[in-house]
Amino acid sequence: MPTSSVNRDDERGVLWARRRVMLGRRIRTLRQVKGLSQEALALESGVSRNMLIQVEWGQRGILAERLGDIADVLGVSACELVSDESIIEPTSDKTSA
């Protein structure tokens, strides 16, 4: 149900749109780095290719469960996909014995 203009928070909508675009770019970049097609990532993660395309282009949001499935295939955590920081390469445990 649409909200009235009184209840709508346009700044929040802009922020959400930016986050969707950022998430989509990260997914697309990691997919390409791994050499996966959209079809391959969709099949391995269990999401439809159309949904993946819309997410990559920032046109729609995604459920946390599906984000986790995509992250698993890409070899990163879901947190890395949604973080405001750039994707950090995995690090090894550097504690000394």
Residue 44 in any domain: the answer is yes
Of the candidates 31, 40, 37, 46, the residue with the CA atom closest to the CA atom of residue 76:
31
**Are the beta carbons of 38 and 31 closer than 8 angstroms?**
yes
Could you tell me the pTM of the whole model? 0.77
Q: How many CB atoms sit inside 10 A of residue 55's CB? A: 21
For 65-74, b/e burial (b = at least 16 CB within 10 A) is ebbebbbebb
Query: What mean pLDDT do residues 5-24 have?
Result: 84
Largest Cα separation within the chain, whole Å, is 61
Query: Where do we find the tokens 């009235």?
Result: 4
Residue 23 in any domain: the answer is no
Residue 89 in any domain: the answer is no
pLDDT of amino acid 6:
55
Residue 45 in any domain: the answer is yes
User: How many domains is the chain partitioned into structurally?
Assistant: 1
**20-70 per-position pLDDT tens digit:** 999 999 999 999 999 999 999 999 999 999 999 999 999 999 999 999 999
Question: Above 60 in pLDDT, residue 72?
Answer: yes
